[in-house]
Every structure is written in C-alpha cells, then in structure tokens.
Amino acid sequence: MKRNRILSLGLCAALLFASMPLLPSARTAAAEEVQGQELDASAEAITTTYQDMADTYAEMEYLPAQADDIVLPAANGKANSDIVLTETAGKQNVLQWNDKNLQWVEWSFEIETAGLYQIEIDYWLSEENTAHSVRGFEIDGKTPFQEAENLTFYQMFTDKNEPTKNVFGDEISPSQKPVPDWRTLKLCDSLGLYDMPYQFYFEQGTHTFRLNYSARELWISEIRICTAEEVPSYSDVLQSYQENGYTESTSSFRSGKQYRIQKQSGNPDAE
C-alpha cells in the first residue's frame, strides 16, 4: 500500500513538471533550434532568377565565346542507375528515359575559350506521349536559377481529321494527335518570360551539365554547347541596310489598295 502511494506521488510530480512552462534558458534554446532549422530550409531555396544572372553578366560585360560547338552524345552520360540506349527514329545510341527510376543523367565537357554559351538538346517524344515532358537541369552541380527547375520538352500536335460543322454551320475544331519527330530544344524559359534562350558564362576548364527527372518519358540523342547568339542593335542593322543600298519605302500594298506611309515628326496630326 505504501509503495503504491509513493508511485502515485511520483506520477503526479512528473505530470506537474511536464505542465510547467519552460525556463527562459530552455525557451531560448528551443527557439534557436527552430530558427536554425528555418534558416537551413531557406538556404536550400533558390532565390536567384535568370534575369538576376543575366544582369550580372551584363555588368561584367561578358561576351559570346568565339568557339566551335561542343557535342555531347547522350550515350556518354553518367547516371544514378544504368541507362538504356536504343535505335529511335533513324538515330543510334539514343538515351531512352522512361521513368523516375533514372533520377538524373550528367555529362562532362571541356571549355577552351571562356565566354557566353547556349545549350541545345536534340530530343524525341513518342505518339503515346500526349503531354509535354519536363526536366530540371544543373550546371556544375548547382541549379543556376529558379527557372532551371522547369525545362519543358514540347510535344507537337496536328489535326486528327478534317473540321466538322454543327447544326448551325459553325466549324468544330478536330481533335489532335501527337506528331513524333526529332526536335531541338534551346534551353529557354518554359513560360516565355524571356525572348532569348538562356546564356551561360563558362570559364576555361571542366564543367558538368545534369538533367533531373520531373515528368514523363523522353528520348535524347545529343547535347550541344554552342556559342551564344548575339543580337545586333538596331543601329547596326540600319547600318547594314544602308551599306547594302536599301532605300526607305514610301508605300505599301494591301488588298489591292495603295497606302502611303509618311514619317511623322512633332505633331501627330500632321499629314
């Protein structure tokens, strides 16, 4: 009986202690631990956008590299598991990437001339693939910017049959079917926020390019590291026109009617 009373008292004391608020030092330690976990999570988040990187390149005055294309056959990639190579649509040693069991594939390459480059991928999608395929990519072991987590390989479609008409005589759009064919994707923003393909500055030396699985099957034949496209300014284009002897147009034709194009200066109502 006495032993049971001692056990009951001990249990009550334990419950009372558990219900007591933490001492200031204990609360501080707990708060610091939670804050540290939040900092670790935020450190993993990618905050850099492609625009941020492009602005940095512009400030550094990086220029397109004057170099030949670097070709990376898909068969030369290294992966987290065995890769499958097939003959697909007339091409040999094509990487067949069917599911997420193949989490990533990575290629190494050497840059001899530092400068801005673009990356192109030759890919193929089957008729069974009725949606776009998605991958993410890394450069030298890191995701370079937010948009790199969503790289879309577009499927192309065509009309399955001729348009039909409803009872009112209005045409009804036909259903669509995939068009399997080899295509080239220049790495770019899948949402169309930027009007040019991505550009990457590579120093001289060894670099890596990795694709990470996101959704749906994909066939890849090769990857190319190419010199970045340089878009000329309007003044440069105008100068080339003048050097070629092009003259200003004073008229245009539309539906058989002639319209005069007149340059305005100052007053917008001037004829």
Determine the pLDDT at residue 22.
Answer: 45
Determine the pLDDT at residue 46.
Answer: 86
Determine the pLDDT at residue 3.
Answer: 47
First-to-last C-alpha distance (Å) of the chain = 113
Determine the pLDDT at residue 237.
Answer: 85
Quick check: 87 pLDDT over 60? Answer: yes
Task: Give the pTM.
Answer: 0.70
Alpha carbon dihedral 158, 163, 166, 169, in 10-degree steps, equals 130
How far apart are the C-alpha atoms of 117 and 128, rounded to whole Å? 34
Q: Quick one: pLDDT band at residue 255, thresholds 50, 70, 90?
A: low
Q: Quick one: pLDDT band at residue 261, thresholds 50, 70, 90?
A: low
pLDDT digits (tens, 9 = 90+) for 100-153: 899 999 999 999 999 999 999 999 999 888 889 999 999 999 999 999 999 999
**Nearest to residue 132, comparing CAs of 222, 216, 212?**
216
How far apart are the C-alpha atoms of 16 and 112, rounded to whole Å? 71
Determine the pLDDT at residue 256.
Answer: 53
Determine the pLDDT at residue 257.
Answer: 56
**Nearest to residue 54, comparing CAs of 263, 179, 195, 240?**
195
Determine the pLDDT at residue 235.
Answer: 84
Which residues, in sequence order, are CB contacts of 149 under 8 Å at separation 6+? 46, 136, 143, 214
Average pLDDT over residues 196-205: 97
Determine the pLDDT at residue 270.
Answer: 43
The radius of gyration of the chain from alpha carbons, rounded to an integer in Å, stands at 31
Identify the top-confidence range among 24-28, 40-44, 152-156. Answer: 152-156
Residue listed under structure tokens 């080239």: 184
Lowest mean pLDDT among 59-63, 98-102, 109-113, 196-200: 98-102
Contact predicate 97/206, CB 8 Å: no
Average pLDDT over residues 88-103: 94
Q: Quick one: pLDDT band at residue 35, thresholds 50, 70, 90?
A: very low
Contact predicate 220/121, CB 8 Å: yes
Quick check: 247 pLDDT over 70? Answer: yes
Q: In 3-state terms, what secondary structure has residue 105?
A: strand
Contact predicate 69/226, CB 8 Å: yes
Determine the pLDDT at residue 262.
Answer: 54
Alpha carbon dihedral 139, 142, 144, 149, in 10-degree steps, equals 100
Determine the pLDDT at residue 249.
Answer: 76
Instruction: Kindly report the average pLDDT of the chain as a whole number.
Output: 82
**Nearest to residue 81, comparing CAs of 106, 58, 60?**
106
Alpha carbon dihedral 130, 79, 72, 187, in 10-degree steps, equals 50
Quick check: 193 pLDDT over 50? Answer: yes
